[in-house]
Every structure is written in C-alpha cells, then in structure tokens.
C-alpha cells in the first residue's frame, strides 16, 4: 500500500480547529497530493472522525484512511483498552462516524498489559477477514512487544502488524536505539507522531519570549523554566540558523530531517490552520546534506531525548 511522504494528522479537528477550517485543511491537503489521513476515536470524543468522514464523501477511495482504538470512550470498565469486547464495540462506532464500510489501517493506540496479545491479534484478524479493516498497526509500542506480536502471529496464524506509530523527532530520538532497528529488520512501516515535538520545532517557543496565546504550551501551562525546557530552548537557538542556511523554516527543516531517514514511512503533521499546512508541505522541497545531519547530531545526539 502506497502512501504520501507526509500523513495528515487529524487530532486538532473539532478542537481547537473548527469544523469549517478542518474541512478546508483536508481538501487542501488532498489537492496537494497527501493521500494518507490519520485520526483516532478518542480525538475530541469522536468529533475528529465525524469531520473526516463528512469531508471524505466522494473522495473516500482517494485516501488511505487510518484510525486508532484503545483510549477511554465511556465510564464503564470495558470502555477502554484492547480487549475483544472494546475493539468490536469501537470498530462499529468508528465506521459509522467515518461514514465508510472499511478502515485501511486500524491501529492499537497504546499497549494493553491487561489483555493477552493473542486476544488482541485475534479480534483484529477477524476484522480483516470480515473486510472491515485492510491492515493493522500499533502506536507507541516498545520493541520487545512488537517482537512478541510477530511470534504470536506466526504461532496462531493471525494477521501481522505492518507498521508502528512512535514519537520521533529531532528532540525525541530514543527509538533509534531499538524500535527503529527492529522496524527495519522486520519490515514495519514507521509513521512518526509529534515530529515537531509539540510545537518546539516550529520555532514558536523562543528563549526569553512569552508563549504565543492559544499555543499548546500556553493552554497546558507548560513549565518553560524546567531543565528540559532550558535544554530545548538552547537547541532551538542552534537549529534555527541551520534551517535558515538550508532555506527552510525550522518546522520544514525538522520534517525534512525525518524524511531523510529511509526507515521513516511518513511523519504525521498536525496543522491547526491552513497556513501551518502550507508551511509543513514545504518540507518536501527541502534537501538536507550529510553535513546538516551531522550538525543535528551534535545538537541532539543519536538515540537521545531532550
């Protein structure tokens, strides 16, 4: 299955991005060549899926549609997790909200230590054989658990996960130690989430300056004086000149850095506005030499998180 080099993440659709703006972003992304959309049932309590479903009327066959299951969708004891009960309940709800008869990529949003992996793979296999799901994947799974899934798939003749969606950016490189080598070895696609580290790599947060109103840092009241924040401020000040030298914004440079890695399938961009979408799309025109990659390693060492 072929996907565009960037994936449109739909987490912001419904809040903070209005339905009208969300629809505009989706149409503009598709017109720009993006054929890969990623959402989840928990994003704004299903509103994101509803907006995506509404927007894709007449365009459903032009996109690879991905969504996720795991998060809490109610107050009951079985309203979260990866149990057969919860997944069978949530697949129907997602299909209804997305106004489609199948999901191209259905992902487990997080690991579930309370549910045996053979149960999780068993129900997902049933959904594939019923035609409701085309492929299955994971998000934020450790390498050891991904390895376990291959063993169980082979032992019980169950569907195999085809991709992992991990946190990965210039600031969050821990998966280079184990997850990325595993994915390269066993042919898993890699779909990084938070490629701009929550906005840090967009250049909006600068040392000594007030966080922009409405930004994630302002809304969630991040501690911008913490040791981690200070490290990130210093790294941003060193990365911005590199990006400028490469003829890019910091966000474009950061996305282009991910795109140079042959293991990466498609970073997930999460624009809140059409302007942010256009900026992100510009990353596709940025070409980084080995010298730029070496300089990034000097700022944030391989396999390090800051």
167 phi, psi to nearest 5 deg? -75, 130
User: Left (φ > 0), alpha (ψ -120 to 50) or beta: where does 9 sit?
Assistant: beta
Burial of 99 (0-12, 13-18, 19+ CB in 10 A): middle
Task: Respond yes or no: is residue 85 known to be catalytic.
Answer: no
* CA 80 to centroid of chain Cα atoms: 20
The three-state secondary structure class of 274 is helix
Active-site residue identified among 43, 106, 205, 292: 43
Shortest CA distance to 91 belongs to which of 52, 131, 37? 131
User: Cα dist. 245→216, 240, 283, 289 in Å?
Assistant: 28, 9, 14, 12
191 phi, psi to nearest 5 deg? -120, 85
Catalytic residue list: 43
């Amino acid at each position: 299955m072929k996907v565009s080099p960037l994936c449109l993440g739909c987490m912001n659709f419904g809040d903070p991005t209005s339905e009208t703006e969300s629809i505009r972003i989706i149409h503009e992304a598709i017109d720009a060549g993006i054929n890969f959309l990623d959402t989840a049932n928990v994003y704004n309590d299903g509103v994101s899926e509803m907006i995506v479903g509404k927007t894709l009327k007449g365009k459903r066959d032009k996109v690879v549609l991905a969504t996720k299951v795991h998060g809490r969708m109610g107050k009951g004891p079985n309203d979260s997790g990866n149990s057969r009960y919860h997944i069978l309940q949530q697949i129907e709800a997602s299909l209804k909200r997305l106004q489609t008869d199948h999901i191209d990529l259905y992902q487990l949003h997080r690991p579930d230590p309370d549910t045996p992996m053979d149960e999780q793979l068993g129900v997902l296999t049933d959904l594939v054989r019923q035609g409701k799901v085309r492929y299955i994947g994971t998000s934020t799974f450790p390498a050891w658990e991904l390895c376990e899934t291959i063993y169980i798939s082979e032992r019980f003749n169950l569907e195999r996960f085809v991709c992992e969606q991990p946190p990965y950016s210039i600031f969050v490189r821990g998966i280079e130690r184990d997850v990325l080598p595993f994915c390269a070895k066993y042919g898993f696609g890699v779909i990084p989430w938070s490629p701009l580290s929550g906005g840090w790599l967009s250049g909006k947060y600068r040392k000594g300056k007030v966080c922009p109103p409405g930004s994630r840092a302002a809304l969630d009241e991040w501690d911008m004086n913490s040791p981690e924040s200070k490290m990130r401020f210093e790294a941003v000040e060193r990365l911005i000149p590199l990006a400028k030298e490469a003829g890019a914004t910091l966000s474009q440079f950061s996305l282009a850095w991910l795109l140079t890695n042959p293991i990466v399938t498609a970073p997930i961009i999460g624009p809140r506005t059409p302007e942010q979408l256009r900026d992100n799309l510009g990353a596709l025109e940025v070409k980084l030499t080995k010298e730029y990659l070496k300089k990034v390693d000097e700022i944030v060492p391989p396999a390090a998180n800051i």
